[in-house]
Amino acid sequence: MANLPIHLYRKRQGLIYNTGVNGIDITRHPLYESADIIHLHWINGLVSMHSLRKVKKPLIWTMRDMWPMTGGCHVALECDGYRGGCGKCPQLGSKMAYDLSRAVFMYKKQMLPTNAIMVGISNWISGCARESKLFCKHRVITISNNIDTQEFSPIVKGVAKTLLSLPEGKKIILLGSTNIADPWKGFDLFKTALEYLDKSKIHLMVFGKASSQSLSGLGVSYSLLGVVTDTLSLRAAYSAADLYVAPYRMDSFGKTLAESMSCATPVVCFDASGPKDIVEHKVSGYKAKPFDSRDLADGMQWMLSASEDVYSVLCENARLRAVAKFDSLVIARKYKALYEEVEK
């Protein structure tokens, strides 16, 4: 019911958009009274924003995407309306300054306690929060997303390729996301980049929501894994690939990049948003100029044509960086330190 107003905007883009009105009153939950700290993550549709103003305990909110700072969208794309309070929302197809996005933004501003600590899962999203009108006066820190580097550990590449019945004599490029058609995932940029490569030497492997129709026109052989729900299969895919490509225009972190690196497969991405924190240029992967498909292709070619010695070092560096920076225990220690600080 709370999202019914978006149906008044018939020119909306159809991307995920939420008002934040739905959800439980967290202060009435049985665990609220015994809690020392309230830590929010993804709350949309689960916890009512209205209940947050009643929270009288230390409040930490980890921003998993841009929704906490916007007037309803989860990925702002080219729009920077969140810096000024939203309005004229392009995702709603609105030309009005006082539209639904402005109303949602003001609602959030009224509901959120001023002492809430905002945690970005990348330096990029933390920077966006500091520049936003909603969080510019809040304390904003960065604690990266985490992965289990024991679960996501390398499988011998030849063994992984055999498990997935991948062709011999071709370089394997892995591409994946929840839905590759999402505009911020940059599949169109990847398609353009492919035109600069020798397609006869490449086999594309894709996981996530993708159609054979969208891949058949690329001019390369491919394997479509579909939605992968178990860690072992995903680990095998990462390990089998010679490189993982993440052509994202915008991502709050880029967990698949860290998972790939944890499996000792280096990454090619753009030097932008969350992924720029994950990859070290020409050390654990390649960061192309945003959003230059030719440079993305150059990065793929550089990695695919690297000598065995250079490639081995890239793989080793990728694994070492994932373990040092993004392992669950590393991130847990940072949250533990934050909890101890706010409890004082």
Q: Is residue 278 over pLDDT 70? A: yes
pLDDT on residue 139: 97
pLDDT on residue 3: 59
2 band by pLDDT with thresholds 50, 70 and 90:
low
Tokens representing residue 243 in the block: 């490189």
326 band by pLDDT with thresholds 50, 70 and 90:
very high
Q: Give the tens place of pLDDT for each residue, 189-232.
A: 999 999 999 999 999 999 998 878 888 889 999 999 999 989 99
Q: Give the tens place of pLDDT for each residue, 147-202.
A: 999 999 999 999 999 999 999 999 999 999 888 888 899 999 999 999 999 999 99
Q: Is residue 16 over pLDDT 90? A: no
Tokens representing residue 8 in the block: 């008044």
Does this model's pTM top 0.85? My answer is: yes
The answer to whether 203 touches 172, Cβ cutoff 8 Å, is yes
4 band by pLDDT with thresholds 50, 70 and 90:
low
Q: Is residue 1 over pLDDT 60? A: no
The residues near 154 (Cβ < 8 Å, ≥ 6 apart) are 239, 263, 264, 265, 315, 319
- Rounded to an integer, what distance in angstroms lies between the CA atom of residue 185 and that of residue 248? 4
- Map out the domains of the chain with their CATH numbers: 4-145+332-343 (no CATH), 157-326 (3.40.50.2000)
